[in-house]
Amino acid sequence: MLKIGEFSRISGVTIITLRHYDQIGLLKPVHTDDSNGYRYYSMRQLPRLNRILALKDLGFTLEQIGPVLRENIAPEQIRGMLRLKQAEIEQRVAEEQSLLGRVEARLRQIESEEYMAGYDVVLKTVDTMTIATTREVVPTIGEMATRCGAMFGALFQYVGQSGLKPSGPPFAIYHCPGYTETDIDTESAVPLPNGSNPAPATVDGIAITPQSLEGGEMAATVHHGPYTGIPNAYAAIGAWIEANGYRIVGPPREIYLVGPHEGEPVTEIQYPVQKA
């Protein structure tokens, strides 16, 4: 019979850990003194302790080790548990490596001075939503402001007439691939409460269609300030997507979080992406 300190020295396990294993019932001392609470261990408990350490070393939690020690589990089951562990660790390694990739991408970005200061690109999941939308090809960029004004005016009028309330900020979808200054294929949209199902209509000669817009993973960033600076936000997202090994799988969305009439506008840019 050994006092906890001796057993600790021989086993190489701290006293605190031994007390912890006692407390959770994983390794009880062979005897505990009733009067002073002293724990007494036996050398014959070393194999059990070593089994605990060996299983812990294979990545099992103490909670998982308990049953393995109690019931005598068939090697077949042990094998199953190890296979599971294996898959779990492989998963974690993959995650760590993707994290490493992100850190390295950021370092390269800083070092190559293509550092898009001020823009932080994040990945977010956007739900599928119901929207009211209208679409037109705007001939030149100079006409964007008036055309967008007209489109959103019609949309809000339509939403009001339908007895609905927008369920979020209005946004645009740009269907032309790449940056263009002419013939900009623009879809303007207002999100509606889920489940609402109004009919199509024409307002002020503008055709409005309610529809469902697919959600998914988005690479997104927020631009704070006048719209003339927005190309920088697009560039920042583009750089992030390339550096982090994603692929653009749809047209970008521009979400007008704070409109131009309420001070400095705040605009979010989203690109639907997939891991490449």
Applying CB under 8 A, the residues found at the interface with a copy of itself are: 9-12, 43-44, 46-47, 50-51, 53-55, 57-59, 75, 78-79, 82-83, 85-86, 89-90, 92-93, 96-97, 99-100, 102-104, 106-107, 110-111, 115, 117-118, 120-126, 168-169, 220-222, 224, 257-258, 264, 266, 268
Residue 85 or 175 with smaller CB distance to a copy of itself: 85
User: Which of DNA, a copy of itself, none has residue 97 at its interface (CB below 5 to 8 Å by kind)?
Assistant: a copy of itself
Residue of 34, 36, 75, 228 interacting with DNA (CB under 7 A) = 36
Instruction: Supply the Cα-derived Rg of the chain in whole angstroms.
Output: 31
DSSP 272: E
* Angstrom distance (rounded) from CA 199 to CA 154: 15
CB of 67 to DNA, least distance (A): 13
- Report how far residue 167's alpha carbon sits from residue 270's, in angstroms, rounded to the nearest whole number: 18
Give whichever of 46 and 141 is closer to DNA, judged by the CB atom: 46
Query: CA-CA distance, 164 to 177, in Å (whole number)?
Result: 33
Output 60 or 227, the one with its CB closest to DNA: 60
Inter-residue contact 179 to 259 (CB < 8 Å) = no
Residue 79's binding partner, choosing from a copy of itself, DNA, none, with beta-carbon cut-off 5 to 8 A by kind? Answer: a copy of itself
CB hemisphere CA count around 16 (13 angstroms): 0
One of 16, 78, 82, 94 touching DNA (CB under 7 A): 16
| Residue type (1 letter), 269 | I
100 or 137: CB nearest a copy of itself: 100
Q: Counting Cβ atoms within 10 Å, is residue 219 exposed (0-12), middle (13-18) or buried (19+)?
A: buried
Q: Which residue has the tokens 């060996």?
A: 54
* Residue reference for tokens 């979808």: 173
Summarize as ranges the residues that interact with DNA (CB under 7 A): 3-6, 8, 14-17, 19-20, 35-39, 56, 61-63
